[in-house]
Amino acid sequence: MKNFKRYLVTSALPYANGPIHIGHLAGVYIPSDIYTRFLRMKGVDVISVCGSDEHGVPITLKARKEGVSPQEIVDRYHTINKKAFEDFGIAFDIYSRTSNKVHYDTASEFFKTLYDKGEFTEKSTDQYYDEEAGCFLADRYIMGTCPHCGNENAYGDQCEKCGTSLSPNELINPHSTVSGSKPVLRETLHWYLPLDKYEPWLKKWILEDHKEWKANVYGQCKSWLDQGLQPRAVSRDLDWGVPVPVDGAKGKVLYVWFDAPIGYISATKELTPDWEKYWKDKETKMVHFIGKDNIVFHCIIFPAMLHAEGSYILPENVPANEFLNLENDKISTSRNWAVWLHEYLEDFPGKQDVLRYALCANAPETKDNDFTWKDFQARNNNELVAILGNFVNRTLVLTNNYYDGKVPARGKTDSNDDAVLQEFAKIKENVETSLETYRFREALKEAMNLARLGNKYLADAEPWKVIKTDPERVKTIMNIALQITANLTIICEPFLPFSMTRLRGWINLNELKWSEAGKSDLLKAGHEINKPGLLFEKIEDEEITRQIDKLLATKKANEVAGAKTTPGKNAITFDDFSRIDIRTATILEAEKVPKTTKLLKLKIDTGLDIRTIVSGIAEYYEPDAIIGKQISIVANLEPRKIKGIESQGMILMAEDKDGKLVMVTPATKVSNGSMIK
């Protein structure tokens, strides 16, 4: 493995439109923090940079909704998030932001360099413009009727009802979700980064030179590269962001994904005048910690930008994590389905390490994982308290009881003692190897093995028994137990910095370098220790129940909030209405359409005829259960082929606020083909 002179660790810039939750922590910031702390302890030159990502459309929309300026929004969340990181001991050297001047200058200059080198291509396109709001609309902010399934709430990029991907101009009756008005097409000029041009270079750099990247990262990159890269726009029509530094580019800003990663550079600039040695010296190892949604940006687009610019180094590794779920459900900011850092600390003051431990032990390193409060409790009670806390406690209590808090001298060791002492170095080695290969879960488990070793040692040596027959021997035993404790303060420091600080206080030990780990004379004979407290406390069921109740309350609140009925539609004439042929019918046969989750193929009696209708209700109705049911249908809807089956009409369903579909059935049985009017 290549030896580097210094390290540059970056952590994904959190988007400043909401607070930080446990998913962010588990996916990005805990691993990056452990990694950074480990490197610092090794005494290598390392800086860790992060900051708020403060541009982009969602922030402007949030601002518009609240009637404040975008700056106010980002100020709010920048402050909250910066504090949350500090509170959890996430040890960035700098937590910057992309709305500050250094960043504007850096991003602007970066763009200018590429522009001057002729790296960009320019292209004019027609895009939807919202005249009322005075802005261009991203695909996502246009809604309309899906041309395929008739869903009236299809987005400009995709219809969630039938799953087809769309482009905004396919939508029938498009309207802006910003103002509600009908958008118009307007021509606009943008700059593109020709990713296709860098494709061969990227292929070699990733697929050949970085086979060691994590499977999820490498696979994702390979998939993109194999499919062929397209030029990507680097500018947007928006008044919030870094202005495009080119004449005639008024009203245009750098697209967020272009400016955000440059935030790493500007943060470094803000931190140190020596920033260039971290970014431009081949002796620097750069590592990006991110979540899986960011893989493409950090592995393909940003490296392509850096490569095009020419003077920058590239990331050595991009250890992306998968996602963390919460109690079996996706974490969601908008649905408030999350554990927010600031709220956690209100409920569990001083227990940062417990969360750090639980999240690291259960980090989504290879696949999505689930965070449950029960698991959190078990990790705390069965591992932190029972194994680590307990070992420390029994060692310190015994030392205080037997030797009045003075470290006893070690006498002659027996073979078991020697075996234990030799384990130190092995454990240190294991932790180190795991950390260097970004396997944090494993590293943590290895670190805990030191405490396990300690417990076993005490159980085997039984000092509380031996003290009655051979007090000299006990001095050796306790000396060794204390050396294990001292080693713990080093080995566990990257993972549990708050607790290890307390532990060092109890044994009167300064923070030691990583290289001291593995030694068996960290505490000299006669060294005095203090009265210990409890390193970790048991978490009772009631506290866990309270958290779960809190989440259940959120779920309820969401349902109430979601209960808002869809806004009414524009008036139509009676003539419009009478053109629709709605009538009753009875289901004769029903079967699932193979290889689909939602579709049922139904044979129905409409009174006029027997016909086939394909309907997306399979998630709510079992085929067998609905045979014989009377329903309402639109009989004169243009036939459509769905999954190769011609569907002749549509079944009327009432859609509940949670998306649940319910049949519209006549209150009492009527003859098939009865008109509904």
Show Cβ contacts of residue 132 under 8 Å, excluding neighbours closer than 6 positions: 176, 179, 180, 181
Q: Which is nearer to RNA, 331 or 421 (CB)?
A: 331
Closest CB 577 distance from RNA, rounded Å: 32
Q: Which is nearer to RNA, 227 or 565 (CB)?
A: 227
Nearest to 9 by CA among 227, 267, 232, 356: 267
Q: Which is nearer to RNA, 40 or 97 (CB)?
A: 97
Residues 551 and 475: their CA atoms lie apart, in Å, by 51
Q: Which is nearer to RNA, 12 or 590 (CB)?
A: 12
Which residue pairs, CB below 8 angstroms and at least 24 apart, start in 499-505? Answer: 499/353, 499/535, 499/536, 502/533, 502/535, 503/392, 503/535, 505/530
Q: Which is nearer to RNA, 155 or 198 (CB)?
A: 155
Closest CB 365 distance from RNA, rounded Å: 6
Residues 65 and 177: their CA atoms lie apart, in Å, by 12
Closest CB 473 distance from RNA, rounded Å: 15
Percent composition of the chain: helix, strand, coil (DSSP 3-state, to 5): 45, 20, 35
Closest CB 112 distance from RNA, rounded Å: 20
Closest CB 78 distance from RNA, rounded Å: 13
Q: How many CB atoms lie within 10 A of CB 283?
A: 12
Helix H or strand E encompassing 2:
none
Closest CB 240 distance from RNA, rounded Å: 12
Show Cβ contacts of residue 671 under 8 Å, excluding neighbours closer than 6 positions: 584, 607
Residue written as token pair 């008024």: 250
Helix H or strand E encompassing 46:
strand 45-52
Tokens coding 208: 């050949």
Helix H or strand E encompassing 95:
strand 94-97
Residues 251 and 398: their CA atoms lie apart, in Å, by 72
Q: Residue 478 burial (CB < 10 Å; 0-12/13-18/19+)?
A: buried
DSSP bridge partners of 645: 642
Q: Which is nearer to RNA, 158 or 413 (CB)?
A: 158
Q: Which is nearer to RNA, 436 or 609 (CB)?
A: 436
Amino acid at 500: M
Q: Which is nearer to RNA, 378 or 610 (CB)?
A: 378
Do 610 and 592 touch, CB atoms closer than 8 A? no
Closest CB 390 distance from RNA, rounded Å: 3
Helix H or strand E encompassing 632:
strand 630-634
Closest CB 334 distance from RNA, rounded Å: 8
Q: Which is nearer to RNA, 519 or 538 (CB)?
A: 538
Closest CB 429 distance from RNA, rounded Å: 16
Show Cβ contacts of residue 541 under 8 Å, excluding neighbours closer than 6 positions: 377
Q: Which is nearer to RNA, 332 or 422 (CB)?
A: 332
Closest CB 394 distance from RNA, rounded Å: 3
Amino acid at 195: L
Residues 48 and 597: their CA atoms lie apart, in Å, by 46
